[in-house]
Structure 1
Amino acid sequence: MSDAPWQRTAAAAGLLGRDGTLASTIFAEMTALATRTGAVNLGQGFPDFDGPAVVLEAAQRAIRDGVNQYGPGRGHPDLLEAVAEHHRRWYGLGTTTAEVLVTAGATEALAATMLAYLEPGDEVVVFEPYYDAYAAVAGLAGARIVPIPLTPPTFEPDLERIERAFTSRTRMVIVNSPHNPTGIVFDEDVLREIVRCAERRDALIVTDEVYEHLVYDGRHVPIASIDGARDRLVSIGSGGKTFSTTGWKVGWLVSTPERVTQIVSVKQYLTFVNGAPFQPAIAAGLRMDDEAFDTLAATFARKRDLLTRGLRSVGFTVPDAQAGYFVLAAGSDLGFADATDLARRLPELAGVVGVPLAPFARASRRDLRPWMRFAFCKRDEVLRDAVDRLGALRGLAEATPA
């Protein structure tokens, strides 16, 4: 059936082939390529090293202490309090535990929120390229995304495009800053324009702030700090990226108590509860001192610089990543106009895997064709090995047809 939910979801996420079958994602293809060829895999966005000892030890302690069964539906009380403390400490917001809901990662928080409020025919404004779950969950709800293009090489949002994207059918805008996959951070003028447009159209603002502590120049400014935002806001965060514990899938959302109750009515039928011993561990991480957070950011910034220098030395065009786990690189000057083709050839050309930017956008975004995403959330020796291998691409600009 053409309107089956799985097909609608897959089509919205760009996973449905022309023949109506479920196509393999490029991410799975690249992982298989890395395994088959022994290439260094910089396509996957998770660290290959452990996070802070205080976080890991807290999880081990919780397991030993018997925190291994179903917990409260809203989340472990210690994590609820830690998230509220976190918002008060870092952003000066008067957040209380009644405004917090713990979820199975940020993606479940996003899905529960979208399914709670979207109806068929609604529009969801997103910034493109975008995390593919935005389109997938919108499709599951029968809504459609309205992308605002972020244009290379700066990928900075255009204020006029933001205003044009909002219509009478706009129900929600998803604000992903720090942004995946571009690594940009929205400035306050952009945040204020989003709030203004959302107010004018009475739209819900949903934020994806999982990289909030991995900003490399300055500090993260949440849209919750902008006047007029909080009454229509669902802020989503996660401990996975900050503490290098992506497999634990512990996230949260912050909103009004009324909205939290409404979202729980959906969330309880997704996972109900999750990660019992990991929740107090993430709470311990959120309570680390400022120096520990600065050290985490500095560590990832060093890795970013290592990979960025290596890619540029080969001949890639690489914008500065302001935040997150990834750098973007265009191979046009090397003679590679199509990053999807390059991604499939790169394991044999240089023994490295990245992913093209194409799966993060509509097929019509031809300006994104040369761009790839590489993850720098890896051990230094892995990044150095990748940089050394990429040296094989030097001199290919003349030999490789565009």
Structure 2
Amino acid sequence: MKLSQRSGTIAQSEIRSMTLSCNAVQGINMAQGVCDLEIPREVIEGAKRAMDEGVNIYTPTEGLPRLRQAIADKMQRFYEVEIEPNQVLVSDGATGAFYTACMALLNPGDEVILFEPYYGYHRSTLLSVGAVPTYVRLEAPQWKLDIGALEAVVTSKTRAMVICNPANPSGKVFTRGELEAIGAFAEAHDLIVFADEMYEHFLYDGAVHVTALSVPCLQNRCVVLSGFSKVFSITGWRLGYAISSREVIEAMAQFNDLIYVCAPAPLQIGAAEGLEKLGDGYYTELSRIHQHKRDIFCDALRSVGLIPSVPMGAYYVMTDVSRVIGNDDYEKAMAILEKTGVASVPGRAFYHDDAGKNMVRFCYSKPIDVLEEAAERIRRL
């Protein structure tokens, strides 16, 4: 059968490709962004109890009222941002939330600005709905924002932009000043801002997360995306959400119903219990543990002459691997895997051109014993 034109725009991600290569040699997978911490007891027990109590049928496509309320309460608790539960859509992961947002807000041919290095699923989602990505380069190691570069790419067809904060793969944390500048730019050009805030609780060296919803000129033109995969270590549960105006959420819900019907019912209860019962200490410890892991792995990289762009958030580190033998990023990533058994992602996964040819990304969210073993293996280089 002849495949659609759309199918030709999407290929297997470099992350999955490297995961398969890692599995073939039974290596340490630092390619895929899986958080390996223990799932909080409150989350697991909440889901189990919901199953036992019969919460196993379809939910409203927007999500269970309890979880939507818990998300609204969380925004008030952490950021002093007041939203109503009807401004929340629960979907099948943040990827599902982003897809429904794109379906509701973008038309084929609309241009959408991505910051490079970008998260590959953002680009692939845009391509799948017929949008046209355009790119603004942020340079390692500081990944500073240049508003002038945004002005250089905006056109009459530009409809939106995507920010990932904290950023996968760079670990950049956008400051309030940078978000205000982005908001002013979006306001001047009447743009939508998709703000992926999945890693909001992974912050280091005193960095502070500023949600796009707290920036006045972004409040009425943004869709905030987040979820529970990373913060509760439940990537396989596929629970994410979007926050926006009630009108946008209602439009997104129609596509959510069509594509996903609803997120898993008992798992929504587990997530709600986590939000309701886990204290601030849980989130503080999350950052402390991952900062320690970051430092262990970055020290190992430096010890063999590799140059990490030390992240301020998330749990990835973009690394200059110019000294590794190979003609490009893929060959260098494979050379590291073959010599050490540690898998990374070639830089090409995060750039639209060859800017990543001397870079790879490592994910350091591993159990401490596994991470220390990976660090020791890296030192063999």
TM range, normalised to the smaller chain?
over 0.9
Q: Post-superposition shift, 1:251?
A: 0.7
How many angstroms apart in 1 are the aligned matches of 2:155 and 2:176? 22
Match of 2:271 in 1: 282
The Cα shift of 1:334 comes to 4.6
Q: CA deviation at 1:3?
A: 6.7
Q: How does 1:3-402 map to 2 (within 5 A)?
A: 4-7=5-8, 9-10=9-10, 15=11, 24-216=12-204, 217-287=206-276, 288-334=278-324, 338-363=328-353, 365-366=354-355, 368-393=356-381
Q: For 1:353, give the aligned amino acid.
A: A
Once the two structures are superposed, residues 49-83 of structure 1 have per-residue CA deviations (whole angstroms, 9 ceiling, x without a partner) of 42222212212222222212211221011110000
- Distance in 1, matches of 2:74 and 2:16, equals 35
Pairwise CA distance, 1:336 = 5.4
Distance 1:142 1:249 in 2: 25
Q: Is the 8 A contact 1:166 1:197 kept in 2?
A: no
Separation of aligned partners in 2, 1:342 and 1:77 = 49
Partner Cα distance (1:218, 1:391) in 2: 29
- What is the rounded CA distance, in whole Å, between the counterparts of 2:217 and 2:20 in structure 1? 47
Instruction: After superposition, give the CA deviation of every residue in 1:319-361 in whole Å (9 maximum; x if it has no partner).
Output: 2111112112112245556321111122221121111121121
Tell me the secondary structure at the aligned position of residue 379 of structure 2. helix
Unaligned residue ranges in structure 1 (runs of 5+): 16-23, 394-402
Write the distance in 2 (CA, Å) between the matches of 1:267 and 1:40.
36
- Judge which range, 213-222 or 370-379, deviates more: 213-222
- Identity over aligned pairs, percent: 32
The offset of 1:186, in angstroms, is 1.2
SS in 1 for 2:370: helix
Q: State the SS of the aligned residue for 1:205.
A: strand
1:164, 1:188 → 2: CA distance? 22
Letter of the aligned partner of 2:122 in structure 1? Y
Distance in 2 between the 1:130 and 1:308 partners?
A: 21
Judge which range, 334-343 or 382-391, deviates more.
334-343
Runs of 4+ displaced beyond 6 Å: none
The letter for the 2-side match of 1:222 is T
CA contact 1:162–1:193 (8 Å) conserved in 2: no
Structure 2 gaps, min length 5: none
Inter-partner Cα distance in structure 2 for 1:131 and 1:347: 22
Paired letter, 1:85: D
Output the CA distance in 1 between the equivalents of 2:58 and 2:4: 36
- Which letter maps to 1:168? S
Tell me the equivalent position of 1:396.
none
Further displaced range: 288-297 or 132-141: 132-141
TM-score by length of 1: 0.90
The residue identity in structure 1 corresponding to 2:145 is: P
Q: Amino acid of the residue matched to residue 374 of structure 2?
A: A
State the SS of the aligned residue for 1:124.
strand
| Rounded Cα–Cα distance in structure 1 between residues aligned with 2:131 and 2:13 | 22
Measure how far apart 1:389 and its partner are.
Answer: 1.1
Between 1:180-189 and 1:61-70, the stretch displaced more is: 61-70
SS in 1 for 2:361: strand
Coordinate RMSD, CA, aligned:
1.7
Contact 1:115 1:137 in 2 (8 A): no
How far residue 103 of structure 1 moved from its aligned partner, in angstroms, is 0.7
TM-score, length-scaled by structure 2? 0.95
Q: Provide, for residues 266-323 of structure 1, a one-character-per-residue CA deviation record: whole Å limited to 9, x for no partner.
A: 1111101022111111112223211111111111211111111111112210121111
In structure 2, distance between residues paired with 1:237 and 1:340: 30
Which residue does the alignment assign to 1:400? none
Which whole-Å deviations, capped at 9, do the CAs of 1:91-118 have from their partners, x for residues lacking one? 1111111111111110011000111121
